Chain A
């Protein structure tokens, strides 16, 4: 039993990271209906920026804050410059643009920082909290706490600020949002900025666990897709729940299902995506829109 709980905790730690990137995906999807394939690469790029600041001698948290600010501005800029011209174009066009962005950002990171792996500092202390035979790494606790804080801040923004209300209005009905005087273009840019910021958090959480290199987020993106699909692409809370479930499922499958082991557990998110799409396409917490005429 203790072993099982231990696995669940490990899974939650991994899941929190998937959750944070899934949250970034959902933020953009909600506002624009775009699945941003470049989300992971943007997160990777942000992480390099944070690394660059620490390499320049800044303390970690300051470096992180600066990287988040740069990511926010960068996300807004990308929306204005890259996405805006294809606004209203068929979905496939927009998807191709985000795939192009994926390749571009990946190559740009390799060009600037090379493809050699870099050590990324872990902001959390090593060691673990021991209780009742369980051992929970401070790093795992830290990851869970950070994702919790990010969620809390987003909740406050969307539910308790005027700008958050405006963003939700844009997500619900862009034409009407314009008619009440909301500058929809800026709200979309803001959505991209927020998503890039949340993605940057995700990248900086991943980097100490793996190594920092341009392809770092590729696998994480697949898990984030699984998380968002499971939770519902239009539900931020669902994306987080989905991320945690995917993380736990992956860890448990790796530990207890003999033939999966650590080699095949990458297949777990794909199986989850497949079954969610078959059984409940809107996801666990997604809205199957109910309206009276």
Chain B
């Protein structure tokens, strides 16, 4: 656990309608850290992300830089500096790449800074600059994921939530994405929570990791420790590292 507690989740319950998916989750992420959430399918990883961005009902508290995000609406949470790249990327398919990126900065004022941020995104994802006028729906899966992360970064988030960024992507593309996420984290001190099936990749860039199973945190620790604990990796992540 981090001492600073930039994001502090306490006794968090969350779910859909009558179905409760998360049962009393506690975790804390320090400012500027990358935190990986691991666990099998159906463990509640995506629900945890959705709880953080206000897309599902929650009980408990989500302390974020001095404010409580629990029970706030998604647009309010977004305005507080939380950027959620949902599973499946949430791209605005009929809109162009540039429009998608500009939407990331929707809540911000000041045209000059938006133009500067666009340039900043192109340095991370040069391929997007060559596709500006193209409709987002025509991009490849990897390009769409880059667009989704680029869109999130356009809001200058203080907390970046990445849900399964590797989903459906070729291993090389995934590796490139994770490298960029780490660069962003190092250069902009953006705090990142990443949900990932590919535990090895996620642990490669994270400082802290938590293993979620059946809606509960069953293991927390530094990424190194979890990576080295072969028994843990085998039993919770289902394969040898």
Interface residue ranges, A against B (CB under 8 Å):
162, 165-166, 168-169, 172-173, 175-184, 287, 289-293
A176 partner, pick from B90, B94, B137, beta carbons under 8 A: B90
The 5 closest A-B pairs by CB, nearest first: A181-B78, A176-B90, A181-B107, A178-B74, A291-B137
Is B99 engaged at the interface, CB distance under 8 Å to the other chain? yes
A165-B102, A178-B74, A180-B155 known; A292+B95 contact, CB < 8 A: no
Is B44 engaged at the interface, CB distance under 8 Å to the other chain? no
Residues B86-115 near A (CB distance < 8 A)? 86, 90-95, 99, 102-104, 106-107
B84 touches A179 (CB 8 A): yes
Is B41 engaged at the interface, CB distance under 8 Å to the other chain? no
B92 touches A292 (CB 8 A): no
**B interface residues, how many (CB within 8 angstroms):** 31
- Segment at the interface with A among B31-39, B57-65, B138-146: B138-146
Across the interface, name the chain A residue whose C-beta is closest to B140.
A292
User: Which chain A residues lie closer than 8 Å to B55 at the CB level?
Assistant: 175, 178-179
A180 touches B91 (CB 8 A): no
User: A178-B55, A182-B75 known; 12 other A-B pairs, CB under 8 Å?
Assistant: A166-B106, A168-B92, A169-B92, A169-B106, A172-B94, A172-B95, A176-B90, A177-B92, A178-B73, A182-B103, A289-B93, A291-B93
Interface residue ranges, B against A (CB under 8 Å):
53, 55, 73-75, 78-79, 83-84, 86, 90-95, 99, 102-104, 106-107, 137-141, 144, 151, 155, 168
A180 partner, pick from B94, B103, B138, beta carbons under 8 A: B103
Across the interface, name the chain A residue whose C-beta is closest to B82.
A179
Complexed CA–CA distance, A169 and B107 (Å)? 13
Q: How far in angstroms is the closest Cβ of chain B from A70?
A: 29
Complexed CA–CA distance, A172 and B141 (Å)? 18
Complexed CA–CA distance, A161 and B176 (Å)? 35
User: Which chain B residues lie closer than 8 Å to A181 at the CB level?
Assistant: 75, 78-79, 106-107, 155
Q: How far in angstroms is the closest Cβ of chain B from A60?
A: 39
B155 touches A292 (CB 8 A): no
B78 touches A292 (CB 8 A): no
Complexed CA–CA distance, A287 and B84 (Å)? 28
Interface pairs (13), CB distance under 8 Å: A165-B102, A173-B93, A175-B86, A176-B86, A176-B92, A178-B73, A179-B78, A179-B86, A179-B90, A180-B151, A183-B75, A287-B94, A292-B141
